[in-house]
Structure 1
Amino acid sequence: MYKPVVDFIRSHYQTDNFIALHEPVFIGNERAYVLETIDSTFVSSVGKFVDRFEEMIREYTGAKYAVATVNGTAALHMAMLVAGVNSNDLVITQSLSFIATCNAISYLNAEPVFVDVDLKTLSLSPEKLEVFLNENAEVINNECFHIETGRRISACVPMHTFGHPAEIDRIKEICDRFHICLIEDAAESIGSTYKNQQTGTFGLLGIFSFNGNKTITCGGGGVIVTNDEHLGKMAKHLTTQAKVPHRWDFVHDHIGYNYRLPNLNAAMACAQLEQLDKFIELKRNWANQYEQFFESTAITFCKEPENSKSNYWLNAILLKDRTERDEFLTYTNDNGIMTRPCWTLMHKLVMFKNAIKGDLSTSEWIEDRLVNLPSTVKI
């Protein structure tokens, strides 16, 4: 019963070979910029392409400050650090997420609190967030505390799942009301907009990822964006080992991190960013073809939410139940089409099984049914 899906995907990519979930596409200035970097000998964290990439990100997103990092996880860690997340704090996030978010929270000796997602966005639910906070939190002296444990809830980190924007304005309003810092995990949503504003720019800080499977890539790479001058400058300082600028002296004034994006990677990132709008146009066209195909089936295609323009980083469908999901995964992968389920929910992992959590019924329903489909840009 799944053969028509395999045939449809093969007809799009026009190949009988293995079809990956999401591969990088290099058709622009990647080679020229990388070779220029090699010829310059500035291949590490100092070089013109790092600065150029940050400038391009600022121009693209509209954020006032951008700090390029070695990967998205480092960007998350640094964003939460400069935002004031401390040891023993609680950080609200979603269980339906890639583990990088929870890992970054853990690096700070803080702990995640899991709130459910919306079916319409696959991202953090503002309704469930408000219910959780009304029932479990109180504001004292402009700080939010978890009533049962007395621990501070210092941040909320929603993720824009598969590139689909969360209802981030509603989440921000709730966070502001409860005096919780909003940090956007926009790792998957570069170029996606909500109400004509770039994801990653609604919160105090936002981050993007440029891992090898993302919409644009430089092998690894990440970036922090913010409109806060102090936080932007502090993030850049701490990601460069907190070295005080001087022509020859080595003086450091904080515990720093070797998180600066190398110039070699930044060269590729610049070339990829030059093509982002074209890639998104092609990905949205492919998503539209998926949507039309699945309209005549019993399978539900996950469309972009209302008021949003998604980059459709990974296309997703919802099957009837876990049994049908597993049958679909087996058939497609056996026939050379790479598909995958969503991540194991974070609260089911051994590291986070005792974490504080609200009702997660929607996350668990999605976990049983969701499958990601090949989403590589076809030129």
Structure 2
Amino acid sequence: MINNTQWNGFIKEIKAHYQKDFVPLHEPTFGDKELEYVTDCVKTGWVSSVGAYVTRFEEDLAKRVGVKRAVAVVNGTAALHIALKVAGVKPNDEVLMPALTFIATANAVSYTGAIPHFIDVSEKSLGVDPQKLDAYLEKIAVRQHDELLNKETGRVIRAVVPMHTFGHPVELDELMSVCDKYGLILIEDAAESLGSYYKGKHTGSFGKVNAMSFNGNKIATTGGGGAILTNDEQLADYAKHLTTTAKVPHRWEYVHDEIGYNYRMPNINAALGCGQLEKVPQFIKMKRELTNYYQHLIKNIDGVQLFTEPAYASSNYWLQTLLLDKTIERDEVLAYLNDNGVMSRPIWQPMHYLQMYKDCPRSDLSVIEDLNKIVVNIPSTPIERGV
């Protein structure tokens, strides 16, 4: 049983903080700049996949993340799909990824014809546990002809895709050491981590090719959108070619030299994104202030902790995260908050629980299975009001 008096006080404070009777989980925040840029698109007629704002958005994003190139696409799933493809993931390869992630990570792997191979996470970061992964690969994998083979399936294990859960960076130095040891390609799923840094370096800049999301509930949004991030100019060019239907440039001819994808971000979405990127530092500041506010509030609730960034990281705190004591029933908390106008949610259904992925190879996933019982996300929209 939860203590209704304590939770009622929590609910009252959140509603007062947001000045709303119903508090959504995460809303976009728009202003005059976004309206100005989008209006310019409408007035000039440049609203589709060609236009100056697409180029500007890519350049601004690459500069903010600290990579040479960004390729804007229609959503984060498309970004990860193409990142995997241009990085060298092939059909029937296995791709290591956390079972704690949004389904888009597994789906993008499946789109390439590869097989998701689920691994566990660290309680420290909520992302891939490099030490546990190393021990697991020592047991189930063998190097043969410069490739890493799964001894149980006979398939090549090609890559690892860490996901920076709720904006909290994984232990990248340790993970890169594991990749070097086993010859794995690192591809970051940085969908949630715009504005997050690992030891002073932005997430999404460590892997060979990486992906980011600009969905409506992200730190910065383009409505629907994503981006491929890389320091490899050739791979960036190839990604841009594939995402524009693999059309060979020509003044009038329509020649396509391979199967491509109609994934290019429309100019009107990029215009919205340009305005949003300008506000990222302000959004991050407000989100970190919100973390301090919640740390103060939960002191009044027994058996609840707020998840905070690892010592090596500076997180964007995309979604604020409660960790419940095991004596507290997660669904009882979720029902009580949602019934009383405070939107909350559990972590995503772990991938190996889903019908389409239940037979995929996997390591011990005990940490994820424990987290599934105790994690609750609560309202996380950045606002100006007090701490």
Superposition TM-score, scaled by structure 2 size: 0.96
Do the aligned partners of 1:169 and 1:202 also contact (CA within 8 Å) in 2? no
| Distance in 2 separating the partners of 1:233 and 1:292 | 48
Alignment pair present for 1:40 and 2:44: yes
What root-mean-square deviation, in Å, do the aligned CA atoms of Structure 1 and Structure 2 show? 1.1
Report the secondary structure of 2:329's partner residue.
Answer: helix
Q: Which amino acid aligns with 1:327?
A: E
Do the aligned partners of 1:322 and 1:369 also contact (CA within 8 Å) in 2? no
* Residue 291 of structure 1: how far off its partner (Å): 1.7
Tell me which residue corresponds to 1:236.
Answer: 240
Q: 1:344 aligns with which of 326, 340, 349?
A: 349
Q: 1:92 aligns with which of 91, 96, 102?
A: 96
| Distance in 1 separating the partners of 2:271 and 2:244 | 18
* Residue 330 of structure 1: how far off its partner (Å): 1.0
* Residue 321 of structure 1: how far off its partner (Å): 2.9
* Residue 323 of structure 1: how far off its partner (Å): 5.2
| Distance in 2 separating the partners of 1:323 and 1:311 | 28
| Distance in 2 separating the partners of 1:14 and 1:346 | 36
Report the secondary structure of 2:72's partner residue.
Answer: strand
Alignment pair present for 1:31 and 2:35: yes
| Distance in 2 separating the partners of 1:308 and 1:28 | 32
| Distance in 2 separating the partners of 1:117 and 1:4 | 33
* Residue 141 of structure 1: how far off its partner (Å): 2.5
* Residue 107 of structure 1: how far off its partner (Å): 0.7
* Partner deviation per Cα, 1:195-216 (whole Å, 9 max, x = no partner): 0000011111111100011111
| Distance in 1 separating the partners of 2:101 and 2:318 | 14
Alignment pair present for 1:124 and 2:124: no
Q: Which amino acid aligns with 2:104?
A: A
Report the secondary structure of 1:356's partner residue.
Answer: coil
Report the secondary structure of 2:95's partner residue.
Answer: strand
Do the aligned partners of 2:97 and 2:118 also contact (CA within 8 Å) in 1? yes
Report the secondary structure of 1:10's partner residue.
Answer: helix
Q: Write the mapping of 1:1-379 to structure 2, written as runs, cut at 5 A.
A: 1=3, 2-15=7-20, 17-297=21-301, 298-321=303-326, 324-379=329-384
* Partner deviation per Cα, 1:224-277 (whole Å, 9 max, x = no partner): 110112211100111011111111111111211000000010000000001011
| Distance in 1 separating the partners of 2:216 and 2:327 | 29
* Residue 288 of structure 1: how far off its partner (Å): 1.3
Ranges in structure 2 where 5+ consecutive residues have no aligned partner: none
Ranges in structure 1 where 5+ consecutive residues have no aligned partner: none
* Residue 322 of structure 1: how far off its partner (Å): 7.8
| Distance in 1 separating the partners of 2:336 and 2:259 | 51
Q: Which amino acid aligns with 1:318?
A: L
Q: Which amino acid aligns with 1:358?
A: S
Do the aligned partners of 1:91 and 1:112 also contact (CA within 8 Å) in 2? yes
Report the secondary structure of 1:20's partner residue.
Answer: coil
| Distance in 2 separating the partners of 1:9 and 1:24 | 18
Do the aligned partners of 2:15 and 2:22 also contact (CA within 8 Å) in 1? no
Report the secondary structure of 2:187's partner residue.
Answer: strand
* Residue 21 of structure 1: how far off its partner (Å): 0.2
* Residue 315 of structure 1: how far off its partner (Å): 0.3
Greater Cα shift, 76-85 or 290-299: 290-299
Q: Which amino acid aligns with 1:223?
A: A
| Distance in 1 separating the partners of 2:326 and 2:42 | 51
* Residue 14 of structure 1: how far off its partner (Å): 2.3
Greater Cα shift, 50-59 or 285-294: 285-294
| Distance in 2 separating the partners of 1:306 and 1:206 | 24
| Distance in 2 separating the partners of 1:177 and 1:296 | 47
* Residue 22 of structure 1: how far off its partner (Å): 0.2
Do the aligned partners of 2:167 and 2:316 also contact (CA within 8 Å) in 1? yes
| Distance in 1 separating the partners of 2:9 and 2:299 | 13
Q: Which amino acid aligns with 1:196?
A: G
Do the aligned partners of 1:194 and 1:309 also contact (CA within 8 Å) in 2? yes
Report the secondary structure of 1:316's partner residue.
Answer: strand
Q: What is the count of residue pairs matched by the alignment? A: 378
Do the aligned partners of 1:28 and 1:275 also contact (CA within 8 Å) in 2? no
| Distance in 1 separating the partners of 2:337 and 2:293 | 18
| Distance in 1 separating the partners of 2:41 and 2:135 | 52
Structure 1 residues 323 and 292, CA, compared in 2 at 3 Å: closer, same or farther? closer
Report the secondary structure of 1:184's partner residue.
Answer: coil
